[in-house]
Structures are given as structure tokens and as C-alpha cells.
Amino acid sequence: MSRSLVVVHRWAGRPNTDFYPWLEERLRQPPAPFDSIVTLDMPEPAAPTIEGWGSALTQSLGPVPPPSTVFLGHSVGCQTILRYLAAMPEGHRVEGAVLVAGWFEVDKTWGSLRPWLDTPIDFARVRAAMGHCVVVLSDGDPFTSDWRRNRQLWEERLGAEVLVVPGGRHFNNPREPAVLEALLSRFGTRPTP
């Protein structure tokens, strides 16, 4: 079965920004853990909406992706993936996700961010739809300075494995070795059928 990595970028990101091109290049080196890697170009990245980004993900993958799908989300991309998984029909499941700089609370809010914070997510549905969930946080993220609280929310709500990277900020560098390591250590070996 073909195995895919689907990347959903951050707020104001694009497929050619941050660590996404570097990560894809590294993951394509043999032995490649994925048959395909798709970094989606989400609509209106400077003002993402739940509806717009959710629709874009559904249009790209359909309402149910193959079970051998692994997601990688970055910041608001994590929120998008969680909401997509919660909307999947019951009984369907993906292999897992690596969620980078994800959040449920932030230090300072603004108008277009409010719906992402105020619209509930059905965490029970997300848990049922997702295999292994790895969250990569920083102890110095400028948007979520209380990383301990953020870690606790991920663990409580999704039973996530949380990795805290010292000095990782919001993971906007052209190379992010901690993200690559999280992907390879958790999803680098193809599951046996």
C-alpha cells in the first residue's frame, strides 16, 4: 500500500517557506519512508479560516484519506488536521501525525485567530481517527510561552507523545532537525502489512 506524508503549513506560510523544502528533500533520500510527500498550498495563508483550510484539505484528500497517511502540521496546520480528522466518518483511521508548534491557547489573540480558539474540536473523534500522535513543542515559542501547559493539554486531550525542544522557538528555520528526527523515529520504518 502506498504511504503518504501530507504537510499542512503554518499561518502565513507556503510550501516553499520554513523547513518544508528541506524536510521533503531529506525524506526523499533512500530508504524513503514515504511513497509521496505533499505540502499543501493552503488558501489565503495570511488569514486562514477553519472553513477555507478544512475545505482545501478535504478537496486534496477527499473525506477519508488512505489509512497509510501520516500528517505533519505546523502551528495552525495542526488545528486544521485535527478538525479534518474529527470530521472523518467513524471507523476510519490514519497512521498518525507529527504536529509542530501546535496550540490550543496562545499568549495574545487577534480577530482572525479567535474562531480557531473558540470553535470546539471533538477530541474523542480525533483520537479514534489517528494512530500515533507526536507533538513537537519548544520551550521558547513566542506564541505559547507556557509550554508546560501546552504540553499538558496535548497529553490530556489526545494522549499525545510530546517532545519539547530547547530553544526551538516556532520552528520557522530553513532546517529543523528535531522535526525530521520526530518523523523518522516514529514513522521512518514502514509498518508491516
- For residue 134, pLDDT beyond 80: yes
Q: What is the distance between the alpha carbons of residues 2 and 91, in angstroms, rounded to a whole number?
A: 20
- For residue 1, pLDDT beyond 80: no
pLDDT, mean of residues 85-108: 96
The rounded percent of the chain whose pLDDT value lies above 90 is 95
pLDDT value for 192: 66
**C-alpha cell of 108?**
495574545
Contact 132, 161 (CB under 8 A): yes
Q: Residue 132: which residues within 8 A CB-CB, separation 6 or more? A: 95, 96, 97, 161, 186, 187
Would you identify the CATH topology of the domain 4-187? Rossmann fold (3.40.50)
